[in-house]
């Protein structure tokens, strides 16, 4: 058997597949440990929030250990990871009745639990296999994220040392890398494999949590409409995790078809999947270039950056807020303190994973609290006070949870500015056209349902006896809120942006990227709900089929993106002899790989190493990235961004060159002692970067502990 089927069989049957099983088992175990808490928080969900228990289990358990390590109470170690997981399970099941409640849930909901488990496992195995076709972590910012992950794995105390600026802590949003490291230690998985498994897990979470939210919203509308709920849930997963914007359909399908029919005179070239993320300011060229990525682009590239690592927490915040509204529970802070505490800690984790998301999902939870308060008390001071208390508590808990991180973090942003130029409407239509269609259709539907509900209220008051539940439902309120929030998120970067080191043609690139990424998530959920809700509410079978067909055609347009994105990045499948499975370091040369393995096998802690520095998106800094050992300087541009200026990176760049090329042995030794350098790497990239390298001088500073056939060496500096 050859090709993809043969590779997939090899993937399943190879002994290394046990890592996938262990990874899935660890997530499942963390989920079971947190089912008692999850069933309480997601009482408004028909599936009990079963898969959300994994998010709570991973984030809350890892957060507890992160906090203990940050306060220098417990070091981050394998034993501490196992102890924290066991203690979390003990606490969850120590509440009287917890075990009985969980067993009753698993018995009553066994079919939906089994279905969601199969769906999660299918997504995990499928995307893990896809990553195995090109597992190398050597492009975009994967190099950087691998370094953060390995720095966490190396560290006992938080924050970890910056692997690309020795002696300084990581000054970036690193909690997502920490909980990945937590899972790596729990399963005994090396960082370069755990990285790829986490990418697949993020895809699985994005798909299945979306399914859970929309499935539960639709079941709340029609408890008997299981098929409709399943269809809506699957559509949500496909739109959020597997869809894009209208860009691929417009430029990859529609315009070429019109060109072939002689109805379009413009230029049409081969479609490139990357163009869908670089559209505003690029086509046509302009001075306001932005970034507008979607989750599928992130998953295909195999990125493990803050915006993707926070997807589980983001969807958990949406899920908790939705559950509050669907269950009719009081706002947080009134009778259910667990809701506000857990939500606050999740927001704190978001603050440390992707700070851009913090105000967004704080607003989502605040909106849910306000809606519930208004529903309970009407438009009154009591309702506003109740909602205000809930929001205050969320802010207090979340900021307290993140305080050890915040105290050590140096902001590198420059405040909020007014945009100089906004996006053309037609380009916004290309990016947000299908979502606008579903939003408009749902708004019309909502208005008609609202009018019908008001008429029913009058009829009921007059003794007509018709049920008010035939009108607007809590799920409709949730769907409308999602649409409203998404529209607002698209509008904000058209008005203001956050000033950072991006300038010139890219002043609002990062703002558009980070904010509209969340708009995409909310739009996908709301659009899937709107499609299933409206089609299912029509009375005649012909109308239902017509609406379903129309909505399916519209939803298919953004899902064409996968047709170009997946083969565009992965290309032709590798031959069996070149198949690397999940080895993210397969790109390293033989000499570099030997150096990495030597450090892993012989060095504990985080002593400083010296290797060649380089520019962003290069392979420089590869030893520190692969080992988590700090070097003097890695990617110059990124350190400039993280440190808010170029002074320190410039000074270190100069010193690295002196260390490798200066003939002054005394100066070299003084610099090595000043930076605390313990090991010096001489490899092919050092020889390339420093053509005047002084090997004899460097070897005289200590002893050569490793020599490879290609000339690569490690020198251990002798103690002064």
In the prediction, which pLDDT does 293 show?
A: 96
- Residue 687 maps to a domain: yes
- The DSSP code for 608 is E
Other Cβ atoms less than 10 A from the Cβ of 35: the count is 27
How large is the C-alpha radius of gyration of the chain?
A: 27
Q: Is residue 677 part of a domain?
A: yes
Return the structure tokens found at 233.
Answer: 């849930």
Contacts of residue 4, Cβ cutoff 8 Å, sequence gap at least 6: 573
Residues 19-72 have pLDDT tens digits of: 999 999 999 999 999 999 999 999 999 999 999 999 999 999 999 999 999 999
Residue 113 has pLDDT above 90, yes or no: yes
What is the predicted pLDDT for the residue at 469?
42
* pLDDT of the residue at 7: 92
In a domain, 145, yes or no: no
Q: What integer pLDDT is reported at residue 500 of this predicted model?
A: 80
Q: What Å distances lie between residue 88 and 50, 102, 168, 401, 519, CA to CA? A: 17, 16, 32, 17, 33
DSSP letters, 432-471, are HHHHHHHHHHHHHHHHHHHHHHHHHHHHHHTT----GGGS
Please give the residue range of the domain that contains residue 632.
590-717
Q: What is the dihedral of CA 236, 241, 243, 244, to 10 degrees?
A: 120
Whether residue 159 is preceded by a cis peptide bond, meaning omega within 30 degrees of 0, is yes
Lowest mean pLDDT across 32-36, 174-178, 372-376: 372-376
Phi, psi of 4 (to 5 degrees): -60, -45
pLDDT of residue 413: 81
CA neighbor of 131 nearest in space, from 53, 15, 19, 56 = 19
Separation CA 304–CA 354 (nearest Å): 12
Q: Is the pLDDT at 468 greater than 70, yes or no?
A: no
Cα angle 184-190-193, degrees, rounded to a multiple of 5: 90
The pTM assigned to this predicted structure is 0.95
The pLDDT assigned to 332 comes to 45
Residue 642 domain-assigned (yes or no) = yes
Please count the structural domains in the chain.
1
For residue 6, pLDDT beyond 60? yes
Instruction: Express each pLDDT in 521-553 by its tens digit.
Output: 999 999 999 999 999 998 889 999 999 999 999
* Alpha-carbon separation of residue 653 from 619, 639, 657 (angstroms): 16, 11, 6
pLDDT of amino acid 460: 53
Mean pLDDT of all residues belonging to the chain: 93
Q: Is the residue at 685 inside a domain?
A: yes
What is the reported pLDDT for 454? 72
Q: What is the pLDDT of residues 254-310, one digit of tens each?
A: 999 999 999 988 889 899 999 999 999 998 898 999 999 999 999 999 999 999 999
pLDDT at 707: 95
The whole-number pLDDT of residue 466 equals 39
Q: Which two tokens stand for residue 21?
A: 């099983």
**Is residue 125, in this structure, part of any structural domain at all?**
no
Which one of 1-10, 378-387, 559-568 scores highest in mean pLDDT?
559-568
Report whether 455 contacts 467 (CB < 8 A): no
- Mean pLDDT on 150-179: 97
The whole-number pLDDT of residue 429 equals 97
For residue 712, what pLDDT is reported?
96
Per-residue pLDDT at 377: 86
Inside any domain, residue 214: no
The confidence score (pLDDT) of residue 543 equals 92
Whether residue 502 has pLDDT greater than 80: no
Looking at the domain assignment, is residue 110 inside a domain?
A: no
User: Residue 694: is its pLDDT beyond 60?
Assistant: yes
Task: Give the domain CATH number at 703.
Answer: 3.40.50
């Amino acid at each position: 058997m050859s090709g993809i089927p043969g590779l997939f069989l090899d993937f399943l049957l190879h002994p290394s597949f046990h890592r996938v099983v262990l990874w899935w088992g660890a997530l499942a175990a963390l989920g079971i440990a947190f089912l008692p808490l999850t069933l309480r928080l997601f009482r408004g969900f028909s599936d009990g929030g079963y898969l959300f228990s994994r998010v709570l289990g991973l984030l809350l358990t890892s957060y507890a250990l992160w906090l203990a390590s940050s306060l220098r109470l417990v070091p981050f170690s394998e034993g501490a990871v196992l102890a924290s997981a066991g203690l979390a399970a003990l606490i969850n099941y120590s509440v009287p009745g917890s075990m009985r409640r969980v067993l009753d849930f698993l018995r009553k909901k066994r079919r939906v639990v089994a279905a969601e488990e199969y769906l999660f496992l299918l997504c995990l195995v499928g995307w893990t296999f896809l990553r195995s076709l090109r597992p190398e972590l050597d492009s975009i910012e994967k190099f950087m994220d691998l370094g953060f992950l390995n720095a966490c794995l190396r560290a006992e105390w938080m924050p970890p040392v910056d692997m690309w600026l020795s002696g300084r802590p990581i000054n970036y949003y690193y909690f997502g890398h920490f909980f990945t490291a937590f899972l790596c230690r729990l399963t005994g998985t090396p960082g370069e494999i755990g990285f790829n498994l986490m990418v697949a897990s993020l895809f699985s979470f994005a798909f299945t949590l979306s399914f859970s939210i929309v499935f539960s919203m639709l079941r709340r509308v029609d408890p008997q409409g299981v098929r409709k709920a399943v269809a809506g849930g699957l559509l949500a997963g496909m739109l959020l995790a597997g869809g894009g914007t209208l860009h691929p359909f417009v430029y990859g399908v529609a315009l070429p078809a019109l060109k072939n029919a002689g109805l379009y005179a413009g230029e049409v070239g081969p479609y490139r999947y990357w163009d869908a993320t670089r559209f505003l300011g690029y086509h046509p060229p302009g001075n306001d270039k932005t970034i507008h990525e979607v989750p599928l682009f992130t998953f295909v590239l195999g990125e493990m950056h803050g915006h993707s690592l926070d997807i589980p927490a983001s969807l958990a915040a949406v899920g908790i807020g939705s559950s509050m509204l669907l269950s009719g529970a009081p706002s947080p802070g009134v009778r259910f303190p667990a809701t506000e505490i857990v939500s606050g800690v999740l927001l704190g984790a978001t603050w440390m994973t992707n700070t851009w998301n913090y105000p967004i999902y704080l607003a989502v939870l605040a909106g849910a609290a306000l809606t519930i308060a208004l529903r309970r008390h009407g438009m009154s001071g009591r309702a506003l006070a109740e909602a205000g208390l809930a929001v205050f508590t969320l802010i207090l808990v979340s900021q307290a949870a993140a305080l050890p991180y915040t105290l050590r973090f140096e902001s590198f942003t420059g405040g909020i500015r007014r945009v100089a130029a906004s996006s053309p409407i037609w380009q916004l239509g290309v990016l947000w056209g299908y979502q606008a269609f579903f939003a408009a259709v749902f708004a019309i539907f909502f208005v008609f349902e609202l009018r019908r509900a008001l008429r029913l209220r009058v009829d009921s008051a007059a003794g007509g006896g018709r049920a008010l539940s035939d009108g607007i439902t809590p799920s409709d309120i949730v769907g409308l809120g999602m649409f409203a929030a998404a529209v607002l998120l698209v509008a904000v970067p058209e008005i203001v942006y956050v000033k950072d080191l991006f300038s010139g043609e890219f002043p609002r690139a990062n703002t558009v990227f980070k904010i509209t990424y969340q708009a995409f998530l909310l739009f996908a959920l709301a659009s899937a709900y709107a499609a299933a809700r409206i089609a299912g509410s029509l009375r005649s079978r012909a109308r239902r089929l017509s609406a379903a067909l129309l909505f399916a055609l519209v939803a298919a347009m953004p899902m064409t993106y996968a047709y170009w994105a997946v083969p565009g990045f992965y290309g032709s499948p590798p031959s069996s002899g070149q198949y690397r499975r999940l080895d993210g370091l397969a790109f390293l040369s033989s000499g570099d790989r030997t150096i990495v393995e030597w450090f892993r096998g012989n060095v504990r802690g985080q002593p400083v190493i010296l290797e060649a520095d380089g520019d962003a998106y290069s392979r420089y800094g590869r030893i520190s990235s692969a080992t988590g050992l700090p070097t003097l300087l890695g990617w110059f541009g990124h350190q400039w961004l993280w440190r808010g200026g170029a002074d320190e990176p410039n000074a270190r760049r100069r010193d690295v060159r002196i260390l490798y090329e200066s003939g002054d042995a005394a100066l070299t030794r003084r610099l090595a002692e000043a930076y605390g350098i313990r090991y010096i790497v001489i490899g092919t990239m050092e020889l390339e970067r420093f053509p005047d390298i002084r090997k004899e001088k460097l070897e005289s500073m200590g002893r050569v502990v490793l020599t490879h056939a290609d000339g690569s060496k490690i020198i251990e500096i002798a103690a002064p």
